[in-house]
Structure 1
């Protein structure tokens, strides 16, 4: 119960960042669990458990955040309908690939991918510049390749998709508020497919403790979800008021903090 209470406090922060930046699941949950999962989790499966739990938390937070953003008209449903199926396909592929990688390989892949996103976003000044809504709708081929890529990488690393989706949408002319609001429902197929994939993979590991189901650590799941119901509406209210250019800069700073946490 003490563990659930502590995880609930962290869950409030996860809910805020989930609604505010679209990445409260993977980018907060994975580093925290990697550092604080109990010794009862086999060392070879710590990263898998962190990712699996992260994906399970994302299901609830994505639903919750989407509802709050949709009520305020922040979700571009036309873009959602275009990318949704492609991301679903990529999610299934990413979940399949997860069984072929060790925990340490996933950790380094997570770090490397974040560093790439940070540097590419800084170099492309369109990400940190103020944007007046002028979205350039992608071609079918571009949407297919991007959507499948987002689903594959995000499910494999447990990052929910926003780290790829948001820079992509920004570079095509979407404001941060709408990019974040759109990243949350687009993260649902990644979260759902990934959760079941990691659940199934973990059930086959006999040495996993009773506090888990598959690669999902239950005390953290319950605590993070409970705290998320408090944090999500707070994050949405903050997002409505942030200037676009400041919004994007804060997003990049948080990505840098996450990289430092994972390296240490």
Structure 2
């Protein structure tokens, strides 16, 4: 039943990958915490590691099927991608060393603060044209943002889209473009985080809980999530839904609210 439930959640991760650039992280973390609750406090560590692997595959596939004209918006972003990867490596090591409860509550706090920021500060829901940015002339993301975004994202087990999508939105991109570009940026974060997770010692409680791990990754949960997600990504990338930009932005915030509530319920 858990496997079937995870496949069902995988369908949702596919939708969020395409529509919101999440790569699955924000959906995968709460559900893997729930599925591996028998691991106790270590469930959060396993969830962040498993989420990283799911995001590598989802974000990589979504990037591969994204139109080239959209990806060209990232031209000149090499330093940003390298710093995202460097920050992610540090964040992945940090979350393995930090108390599990810290990562859990940091996840909840960060998403809650992000929701407040998106609602209160201009540039996401309502245009902020004081900087002279428009969808026709967006600004590139500063490379200096790479290390902190990568570090926080890997520590929390997410792909960074909750930071990169609002940043690109405020830089002048539409929601459709911002969420599409979030996937290659997520890939730069999730790949090194996954490598670190594979070489970290397994959780001692896993044997008693009958959870089979490779490093810190629950391959069974990851496989179920990907089984549901990949077909959805393929279909939605081929026939993307037409969503008004403002509705798209509100839906993004709505999903963050749902994720926050889910993490509070699995405490």
TM value normalised by structure 1: 0.89
Aligned to 2:137: 134
Closer/same/farther in 2, CA of residues 221 and 200 from structure 1, 3 Å limit: same
Structure 2: gaps of 5 or more residues: 128-133
Instruction: Please state if 1:143 is matched with 2:143.
Output: yes
1:79–1:246 distance in 2 versus 1, CA, 3 Å: farther
What does residue 53 of structure 2 align with? 56
Separation in 1, partners of 2:241, 2:137: 19
- Greater mean deviation of Cα atoms: 166-175 or 73-82: 73-82
**TM superposition shift of 1:91:** 1.1
Q: List aligned pairs for 1:179-218, cutoff 5 A.
A: 179-203=178-202, 205-209=203-207, 211-218=212-219
- Aligned position for 2:86: 89
Q: 2:246 is matched with which residue? A: 245
Find the counterpart in structure 2 of residue 44 from structure 1: 41
CA contact (8 A) 2:6 2:31 kept: no
1:74 and 2:70 equivalent?
Answer: yes
Maintained 8 Å contact 2:77/2:143: no
The CA deviation string for residues 38-87 of structure 1, in whole angstroms up to 9 with x for no partner, is 52x3x13110011111111111101111122235x332231643521121
Say if 1:92 and 1:194, in contact at 8 Å, map to a contact too.
yes
Match of 2:96 in 1: 99
- Distance in 1 separating the partners of 2:239 and 2:20: 10
Q: 2:5 matched to which residue of 1?
A: 6
Does 1:117 pair with 2:114? yes
What is the aligned-residue RMSD (CA, Å)? 2.0
Tell me the TM-score normalized by structure 2.
Answer: 0.88
The Cα of 1:90 is off from its aligned counterpart by 0.9
- Counterpart-to-counterpart distance in 2, 1:208 and 1:114: 28
- What is the count of residue pairs matched by the alignment? 255
Are 2:30 and 1:35 aligned? no
Task: Using the TM superposition, give the Cα deviation of residue 36 of structure 1 relative to its aligned residue in structure 2, in angstroms.
Answer: 2.3
2:18: which partner in 1? 19
What's the counterpart of residue 172 of structure 2?
A: 173
Q: Structure 2 CA distance, aligned partners of 1:237 and 1:38? A: 37
